């Protein structure tokens, strides 16, 4: 069996992906009893995410100075995530289940059993922009992809709106402010295996 490791190739993420990844880690570590004293602290991570998110929005104007500021704040966020990954790896001490609860992606596991794990820590947060929602679960063992479903509550006749991603988090846009939506996530494995979360409903602003 491979040594369990966090995948820390943050440079492969686009700016929006890095933002989503950092938000997912922050959500997973918030109140996580496996990691009671994160280094750096969660307050510092959340502050770094906000600074980067704000700079990312400003950089979309393609102003060279704003882009330079965004790139610098991105490097700061990547470094903070790397330090957190090292802390989580140390605390988990090789326990894959504990390490998975950190929200960081893990290396592939070379074992014969491919039983799909259960989705845990389903979180729905109001997005940073009006009409957005950020949804997240912990990485699911042996999941190949993740299905993100939503619709105005209650969703009738299984008329869900679908999105698919390879990571366990997703920002849903184009929602109507003042409307309550239902959300759920499915973890998809091999041989058509899919494990769904319970449905969570939330008012969008």
Q: Is 68 helix (H, G, I), strand (E, B) or coil?
A: helix
pLDDT for 70 beyond 70: yes
pLDDT at 94: 81
pLDDT at 1: 45
Determine the distance from the C-alpha atom of residue 53 to the mean position of all C-alpha atoms in its chain, rounded to a whole number: 15
Please tell me the class of the 123-203 domain.
mainly beta
> pTM to 2 decimals?
0.62
pLDDT digits (tens, 9 = 90+) for 145-157: 899 999 999 988 7
pLDDT at 191: 67
pLDDT at 93: 85
Q: Is the dihedral of CA 64, 70, 75, 78 positive or negative?
A: negative
pLDDT digits (tens, 9 = 90+) for 32-63: 999 999 999 999 999 999 999 999 999 988 89
Measured distance CA(118)–CA(177) in Å, rounded: 31
Domain ranges of the chain: 10-100, 123-203
Helix (H) or strand (E) holding 170: strand 169-172
């Amino acid at each position: 069996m491979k040594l369990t490791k966090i995948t820390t190739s943050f440079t492969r993420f686009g700016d929006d992906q890095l933002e989503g990844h950092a938000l997912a880690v922050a959500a997973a570590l918030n109140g996580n009893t496996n990691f009671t004293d994160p280094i750096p602290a969660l307050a510092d991570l959340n502050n770094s995410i906000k600074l980067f998110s704000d700079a990312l929005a400003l950089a979309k104007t393609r102003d060279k100075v704003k882009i330079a500021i965004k790139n610098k704040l991105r490097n700061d966020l990547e470094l903070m995530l790397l330090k957190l990954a090292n802390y989580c790896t140390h605390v988990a001490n090789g326990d894959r289940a504990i390490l998975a609860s950190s929200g960081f992606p893990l290396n592939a596991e070379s074992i014969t059993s491919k039983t799909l794990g259960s989705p845990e820590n389903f979180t729905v947060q109001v997005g940073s922009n009006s009409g957005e929602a950020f949804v997240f679960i912990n990485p699911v063992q042996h999941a190949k992809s993740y299905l993100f479903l939503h619709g105005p509550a209650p969703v009738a006749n299984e008329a869900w709106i679908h999105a698919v991603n390879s990571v366990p988090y997703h920002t849903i846009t184009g929602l109507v402010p003042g409307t309550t939506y239902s959300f759920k996530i499915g973890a998809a494995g091999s041989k058509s295996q899919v494990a769904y979360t319970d449905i969570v409903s939330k008012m969008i602003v």
